[in-house]
Copies of this chain bind each other. A is one copy, B any other.
Amino acid sequence: MNDQALGSYIEQVGRAARDASVAMARATTAEKNRALHAIAAGIEASLTELLAANAADLAANPELDPALVDRLELNPARVAAMADGLRQIAALPDPIGEVSNLHYRPTGIQVGQMRVPLGVVGIIYESRPNVTADAAGLCLKAGNAVILRGGSEALQSNLAIARCVAAGLGTAGLPANAVQVIDTTDRAAVSALLGAQRYIDVIVPRGGKGLIERVSAEARMPVIKHLDGVCHVYIDDRADLDKAIAIALNAKTHRYGVCNAMETLLLAEDVAGSALARLVPLFRDKGVELRGCARTRALVPDCVPATEEDWHAEYLAPILAIRIVPDLDAALAHIRRYGSQHTDAIVTEDVSRARRFLAEVDSSSVMVNASTRFADGYEYGLGAEIGISTDKFHARGPVGLEGLTSKKYIVIGDGHVRR
């Protein structure tokens, strides 16, 4: 497409989304749930078409590396998982219309807050076609319209899923334009969306760091995002060592490529020797490369020397940076300097230190005696998540349905005027 055609295409999509958002905001819980169930059934009934569209995407991109092929590929189990996910979203309570804190003021008016949709959500994502169904489902349940821009290599898969979504919306009497997939592989479409603040209330990028940086730099509307997950576990000298070992091992090795995996282990000096004596063989068994400060290397002779970059690193790999610190204050200072405000944990039996860590660590999730791997919408009971936010504004931490809503004030009087 040339610039002008692209501009008018995005304009048309934006306007249609804005119009659909009015109907979506008005949609009843029953209508939204009916749509979610109809979409789930449609996805299951369209298994053959979805696999064919996906095969076309795979055939059109023969040079993808195996990790990307794995993300792009649909199979019967993944299609069933998409349908299940939508039914789980249908089962969640509807956040829209919830009124909180309605109370009488001395003037006689009642003041409260009502939860309402944000309006139009834009999602920019990479290869996984399941995001099309998941994100559409969450936005729909929260009463929003959504514009989806997936990876170019997944276009046919995404369009096939979008057809199921449109049919399901229609079954429930909701506007098909409530969920639109951008139907062009033109990379300039992303910039056009990021400049469409008139039509899009919030953008959620889902993908690698390059995508998120680009979206953050260009977007003219608010962005729900996290850039890095440099998560820490601090083992205090008043830790129960059994708990500390279990948590450190789980936080690093449960999964490597995830944003809530531990990347740096901080150890209070009085406990470092005994903790490392038990942890090092366990990490070595799992093939984790250890990179330590000078004091760590004195205790673990064949440990790789850690450099300044290691304290900043999000490895997303079986590599762990280890630093021995004098005390809690030094651990807090390290996290403040090098952390990414994602998730950090302390292991301690000391109530005062746990209380300080909880209050003073400025991260989206702060934990006591639990693995950083728990930082997740499902684990927190949100039902599903659209992403994890490390910003402090609006939603922070795992973002579920509530993060896709806003609260407005409502006032109910009986002819009241201001004196």
Which residues of B lie under 8 Å from residue A26 when comparing CB positions? 359-360
B415 touches A242 (CB 8 A): yes
* A368 and B247 in contact, given A406-B393, A416-B374 (Cβ under 8 angstroms): no
B409 touches A369 (CB 8 A): no
In the assembled complex, the CB of A89 is this many whole angstroms from the nearest CB of chain B, namely: 19
B417 contacts A373, CB within 8 Å?
Answer: yes
Q: How far is the CB of A319 from chain B (nearest CB, A)?
A: 20
A397 to chain B: closest residue by CB: B409
Of A107-115, A152-160, A172-180, A297-305, the one with at least 4 CB within 8 A of chain B: A107-115
With beta carbons under 8 angstroms apart, the residue of B250, B373, B379, B394 that contacts A105 is B379
- Docked CA distance A218–B203 (Å): 19
- Docked-complex contact B415 and A366, CB < 8 angstroms: no
Bound complex: CA of A140 vs CA of B92, how far in Å?
39
Given A370-B416, A373-B417, decide whether A392 and B114 contact each other with a Cβ distance below 8 A.
no
Residues of B within 8 A of A369 (CB): 412-416
Determine if A118 is an interface residue (Cβ-Cβ < 8 Å).
yes
* Contact A363 B413, beta carbon cutoff 8 Å: no
A371 contact from B359, B367, B375, B417, Cβ within 8 A: B417
Q: A116: CB under 8 A from chain B?
A: yes
Contacts of A240 in B (CB 8 A): 415
**Of B25, B246, B413, which one neighbours A368 at CB under 8 angstroms?**
B413
A positions within 8 Å CB-CB of B: 22, 25-26, 97, 103, 105, 107, 109, 111, 114, 116, 118-119, 201-202, 222, 240, 242-243, 246-247, 249-251, 254, 336, 345, 347, 354, 358-360, 362-371, 373-375, 379-381, 392-394, 396-398, 406-418
What are 28 A-B interface contacts by the 8 Å CB criterion? A107-B374, A114-B366, A201-B393, A222-B393, A240-B415, A243-B414, A243-B415, A247-B416, A250-B418, A251-B417, A364-B409, A365-B408, A365-B409, A366-B410, A369-B412, A369-B413, A370-B412, A370-B413, A370-B417, A371-B413, A371-B416, A373-B418, A375-B409, A394-B394, A396-B406, A396-B407, A396-B408, A396-B409
